[in-house]
Amino acid sequence: MAVTIKDVAKRANVATSTVSRVIQDSPKISEATKARVRKEMKALGYEPNYSAQSLANRVTQSIGIIMPESDVAIFQNPFFPESLRGISEWVNEHNYTLSIVTGKTSDELLSRVRLMSRTGRVDGYIVLYSKQKDSIVEYLHQEKIPYTVIGKPQQFVSETTHVDNDNYQAAKDVVTYLTGLNHQRIAYVGGDHEQIVNIERLRGYQDALREAGLPLPKEYVVREPFNLEDMRTLLQATPPPTAMIVSDDLVAMAVQKMLSQLGVSMPEQLSMVSFNNLMLAELMNPPLTSVDIDIFTLGYQAAKSLIEKIEDPKELTKHIIVPHRIVERESSQVL
């Protein structure tokens, strides 16, 4: 049996209530008895029981991380572990615990979230994705359970604390960067257009092109899923692109493979800039110019603001923008 508050109380010759107050460092207790009690806690190796504290306090010091519906591809995208690393950093430092919620379907996910909340296992959630109409977000909102979103929420926007990049501006910045290298014909190859982040990036690209008065033929935008034929069509557009923006490093890897199959060399014939700056951007051949969106910080800030909200419900809604920066490597060059 582990040592309890009673054992400490007995050895320190005080009531358990006093020990409890020492644990909380209550100002009501004299320094003298605090010191005595602490000595005994140390001597006995006492740690307060988590379940008992949770039961008495009605908080769990635990947060849930809601993953998108489980899919190999999503898990293999390093976005997830890197944001988790950021979340974990903050959470661990503040003695919270982190629970991952996964599910094969959104119904399964919802029922797990509901169960965890109703059984009082977590105090709040970080939602690691954002989509148009999400029954989980609706549930959290309705039950007034604290949550923060990584990405741009699609529902209850003004009431939802979220952490995101300015993906629209990032795409514009990439266009500016490329025009600075004298590129005038810039194409965009994008990932899943269900995801808000991709929609934003595409929009930023389109607006930047328009504002710069650059040509934007239909063929310049290629969406996933695409194949070798689509890529060939893109390269044969009139005028043909000299640069290409790709929505994600993993997609960039797929695109590059097609380019080399089509005999197009990078960056000599085509410059490429991508997003996310994953480790593999550096490993690619040539190394990829990519927009670093600081995924770690997205996670870190999401955890921070969630826990602030949990500990003080009056905390205001926040929209936190994590800065991006273009990391220049060899896949892009002056025209």
**Under the rule (CB under 8 A), what is the footprint of a copy of itself?**
2, 45, 47-52, 54-55, 60, 62, 70, 72-73, 75-76, 78, 80-82, 84-85, 88-89, 92, 95, 97-103, 112, 115-116, 118-121, 250, 253-254, 256-257, 260-261, 278-280, 283-285, 296
21 contributes a contact to DNA by CB under 7 A: yes
Three-state DSSP at 318 gives coil
Q: Measured from the CB of residue 115, what is the shortest distance to a copy of itself in angstroms? A: 7
Judged by beta carbon, residue 46 or residue 220, the one nearer a copy of itself is: 46
Binding part of the chain for DNA, among 53-61, 169-177, 241-249, 324-332 by CB under 7 A, reads 53-61
Q: Which residue in the set 11, 18, 163, 222 belongs to the binding site for DNA (CB under 7 A)?
A: 18
Q: Which residue in the set 11, 42, 45, 48 belongs to the binding site for DNA (CB under 7 A)?
A: 48
Looking up tokens 């503040």, which residue turns up?
94
Judged by beta carbon, residue 5 or residue 196, the one nearer DNA is: 5
Q: Which residues from 58-117 bind DNA, rule CB under 7 A?
A: 58
35 contributes a contact to DNA by CB under 7 A: no
41 contributes a contact to DNA by CB under 7 A: no
Is there a contact between 252 and 270 (Cβ–Cβ < 8 Å)?
no
Tell me how far apart the alpha carbons of residues 139 and 221 are, in angstroms, rounded to a whole number: 36
Is there a contact between 124 and 147 (Cβ–Cβ < 8 Å)?
yes
Q: Which residue in the set 10, 35, 42, 52 belongs to the binding site for DNA (CB under 7 A)?
A: 52
Tell me how far apart the alpha carbons of residues 62 and 97 are, in angstroms, rounded to a whole number: 4
The continuous run of DSSP H or E covering 134 comes out as none
Cis peptide before 239 (omega within 30 of 0): yes
Q: Which residue in the set 35, 43, 56, 228 belongs to the binding site for DNA (CB under 7 A)?
A: 56
Q: Which residue in the set 10, 13, 97, 135 belongs to the binding site for DNA (CB under 7 A)?
A: 13
Judged by beta carbon, residue 120 or residue 215, the one nearer a copy of itself is: 120
Please give the size of the binding site for DNA, defined by CB under 7 A.
Answer: 31
Tell me how long the chain is: 335
Of 184, 190, 194, 195, which Cα lies nearest the Cα of 217? 184
Judged by beta carbon, residue 152 or residue 304, the one nearer a copy of itself is: 304
The entry of a copy of itself, DNA, none near residue 27 (CB within 5 to 8 angstroms by kind) is: DNA
Q: Which residue in the set 38, 44, 49, 230 belongs to the binding site for DNA (CB under 7 A)?
A: 49
39 contributes a contact to DNA by CB under 7 A: no
CB proximity list for 220: less than 8 A, separation 6 or greater: 185, 186, 187, 188, 234, 237, 241
Three-state DSSP at 258 gives helix
Judged by beta carbon, residue 62 or residue 195, the one nearer DNA is: 62
Binding part of the chain for DNA, among 11-19, 251-259, 304-312, 327-335 by CB under 7 A, reads 11-19
Beta strands 161-165 and 147-150, pairing class? parallel
Three-state DSSP at 243 gives strand
Tell me how far apart the alpha carbons of residues 269 and 298 are, in angstroms, rounded to a whole number: 35
Locate all alpha helices (DSSP H) within the chain, ordered by sequence. 5-12, 16-23, 31-44, 50-57, 72-76, 79-93, 106-118, 135-142, 167-180, 196-211, 228-235, 249-261, 279-283, 295-311
Is there a contact between 74 and 104 (Cβ–Cβ < 8 Å)?
no
- What is the binding site for DNA (CB under 7 A)? 1-2, 4-6, 13-18, 20-21, 23-24, 27-30, 32-33, 46-49, 52-53, 55-58
